[in-house]
């Protein structure tokens, strides 16, 4: 599994984990709403966002989510998409990397597509 921005990857296996896709996003992506952040996503700082998102992830079964995402991608490698573009900094961060860290805690490797 990989992660990327809507703006940097348009290949096969795309799965949106954002609340909404950007305008003019090429068709052909799937959506996995359970990984989209809550309505609070624009109303908080990173520390609070990470705490709230960790609570959201804790309610999910990591192996079930992993399997669901592979099923959605069909015969392709799943690529989880959200808005932000690398490089990630204290002011430019994204929840897809929080998802990657969550998966990695359970032994799954999830790299960012350059």
Q: Quick: pLDDT tens for 18-60.
A: 999 989 999 999 999 999 998 877 778 888 988 999 999 999 9
| pTM > 0.75: yes or no | yes
| Torsional class of 74: left (φ above 0), alpha (ψ -120 to 50), beta (otherwise) | left
Nearest to 57 by CA among 102, 110, 109: 102
Give the mean pLDDT of the chain: 91
Q: What is the pLDDT of residue 90?
A: 64
């Amino acid at each position: 599994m990989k992660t990327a921005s809507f703006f940097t990857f348009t290949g096969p296996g795309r799965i949106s984990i954002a609340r909404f896709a950007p305008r003019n996003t090429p068709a052909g992506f799937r959506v996995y709403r359970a990984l989209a952040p809550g309505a609070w996503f624009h109303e908080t700082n990173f520390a609070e966002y990470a705490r709230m998102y960790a609570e959201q992830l804790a309610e999910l079964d990591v192996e079930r989510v992993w399997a669901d995402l592979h099923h959605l991608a069909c015969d392709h490698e799943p690529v989880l998409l959200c808005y932000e573009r690398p490089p990630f900094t204290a002011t430019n961060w994204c929840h897809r990397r929080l998802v990657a860290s969550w998966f990695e805690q359970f032994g799954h490797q999830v790299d960012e597509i350059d």
